[in-house]
Structure 1
Amino acid sequence: MSGNLYRGQAGLPFSSSLRIYEPLEAFPPEQQRQLVADSGRVGSRAAVENAELQASLGRITRSGGDPFPTGRTDLVRMTRVPTGRHAAPEPGKEGTADDGGRLLYCPSQLVVRAGLAANALMDGVHSPLADLLIPVSQRDKHQLRIDRINAGDDAKRVHTRASTWGIPFSWFSLFAESDRKDVVEADGHIVTVRVWTPLTEALDRARFAVAHLALAAPDLDMLDDLTQLTEWLELFHVQSMVELDYGAVADKVYPDESPMDVRLGIECLAEGDMTGAAAAYRRLASRWIPIRQLARAS
């Protein structure tokens, strides 16, 4: 399998990611050595994305019925931020070894994430279909890989959250209109948009949203999502960066005002302005419900 699949994902589900990039000292010593070694061989960000996509397609088409990653190799994304202050990555500096600034790392952790995805699949479809897609023998084999990872340090800190066919509204609460955006384009289309913010800013915004929703709309599903997001963010180093990677869905929705609409909706709820909150939700729904309906299209 060859070519740049990353730039031409026609026919693949829209997939978006929320990632945490941490400084080297946030990782256990053995993993630090591996990250440093990987930083010498990883190419551009586009090359990393393409390699990961090709590997995932290769797993689901290989013989033997095992779609899981083995963990023998794992990709790492890197970005460079100016030292001495929290700032968004500079354009074109991701994954490079230029002088100046500080490298932050986001390991793919494909073995653990594949296990989580398989569990979600088992909970979301009928058992006979799940057994057909992922044989029990292969799930058991993969669980052994996960158990080996869980026996080590740092097992709970999964650096990437993924979503298909749309971005959860709770993710947008971590970002603001003023945050840095990288728009990646190719052949007249937007390949992705990446939004960056320091972890401390993301945590402040998440806690603000949780506090206001807990008072104004305690039964809202988004409150549970935001509470889980806050607990997740609290696992990481204070000097980390948070990245929202739209993926190919960016070509359908960008320019996107979802972070502003989520913030305004929460503020309106806190002030008892139901009309304003409803208007913000309508704007979000008009933008994202058509994307989510694609998941059920034939």
Structure 2
Amino acid sequence: MRAALPRTAALRVYEPLAAFAEPERSRWAAYADRSADAREAARADGRSLRLAGLAATPPVVVPARESDEAHVLVLSGLVHVCPEQPRLRAWEALAELRAGYPQRLVEAFVPPLVLEQAERDHARWRTVHPDVRPHVRTAGWQVPLAWLVLVADADRELSLEPDRFLRYRTPMAAARRSAARALRTLRRTSDELWAATLRADEPAGRWEPGEDGPVALPADLDLCADVEDVARWLEEFHPRSWVELDYCGLVDLLPPDALTDDHSARDAAEVLGQLAAGDGASAATAYARLERRWEAVSALERAN
């Protein structure tokens, strides 16, 4: 039985070995030759060490060195690798934390000296590795709509046992085309469509998913900016890469019937299709269906 995973979803890019320069290419080729069980055990050990570091005093919020762990995907005999890069991702997560929350709140979780040292280390590392980018994005307690527009229902892979997973895999070219189509639709969509069906008895900007009555897309949903951000990120990688949207630890929060019925990529496609058709009410209804699927998960997040 696999160990419990963090309550996050992941968006991964698997690049072919040809995308890596030597000696990294040879190192990943050797890593891919290891058994899948050995690779998973190494990733689990790495996660345990990082969690132990977070519990230390002072906390180790950024690993002292980058890991040698990765996810491996072999298609038609070709090896594709998605490095985990927990050190780089920790630096970027700290930067996002500082940008998104008041300084006093951030320092309640991470001591100022630790934050300052992490910033210095990141800046020094960037001078040597200006073009390295993270191959993984994560989102806690949800699957972002901007990720779902990259994939199609036909890309869906579900397993309930022996290992439970729900994921989507698509070629990079298809993900880029999907992002471009989504952006064209969103840029043509007027602001009025997004708010066309606000309930008359609700304050402007408030959104409540409900079974009855008209609903509206939430006023603070900036899907266009989110898709633009993901699209720019995808452009950084080899065109022969593969994109994977993995529910990861979120599958442990959903019963088997909910996983079987989960076709979130299809719902996201319906949101965009109805927006393209100029039907804001139907788009909002499709979005509400998507949101209701995650209400139970959101309740667990609030409980934590």
Which structure has the greater CA radius of gyration?
2
Contact 1:23 1:103 in 2 (8 A): yes
1:168 aligns with 2:164: no
Unaligned runs of 5+ in 2: 195-220
- Which residue number corresponds to residue 287 of structure 1? 293
Cα distance in 1 between the residues matched to 2:21 and 2:122: 18
* 1:143/1:42 CA distance change after superposition, 3 Å: farther
Contact 1:42 1:48 in 2 (8 A): no
RMSD: 2.4
Of 13, 17, 40 in structure 2, the residue corresponding to residue 20 of structure 1 is: 13
Contact 2:15 2:81 in 1 (8 A): yes
Cα distance in 1 between the residues matched to 2:45 and 2:21: 26
Instruction: Tell me the TM-score normalized by structure 1.
Output: 0.81
1:200 aligns with 2:173: yes
Of 131, 146, 149 in structure 2, the residue corresponding to residue 155 of structure 1 is: 131
Contact 1:191 1:247 in 2 (8 A): no
- Which residue number corresponds to residue 49 of structure 2? 55
Unaligned runs of 5+ in 1: 83-100
* 1:184/1:30 CA distance change after superposition, 3 Å: farther
Contact 1:70 1:145 in 2 (8 A): no
Secondary structure of 2:173's match? helix
Deviations 1:118-156 (A, max 9, x none): 122223444234223222222233334323432334634
Of 254, 262, 266 in structure 1, the residue corresponding to residue 259 of structure 2 is: 254
Contact 1:15 1:247 in 2 (8 A): yes
- Which residue number corresponds to residue 143 of structure 1? 119
Instruction: Tell me the TM-score normalized by structure 2.
Output: 0.80
Secondary structure of 1:19's match? strand
Of 4, 26, 29 in structure 1, the residue corresponding to residue 22 of structure 2 is: 29
- Which residue number corresponds to residue 74 of structure 1? 68
Deviation at 1:40, TM superposition (A): 4.3
Cα distance in 2 between the residues matched to 1:210 and 1:284: 20
1:215 aligns with 2:220: no
Cα distance in 2 between the residues matched to 1:285 and 1:167: 10
Contact 2:67 2:85 in 1 (8 A): no
- Which residue number corresponds to residue 98 of structure 1? none
> % of aligned pairs identical?
29
Cα distance in 1 between the residues matched to 2:104 and 2:301: 21
Cα distance in 2 between the residues matched to 1:49 and 1:41: 13
Cα distance in 1 between the residues matched to 2:241 and 2:146: 19
Contact 1:21 1:104 in 2 (8 A): yes
Contact 2:67 2:84 in 1 (8 A): no
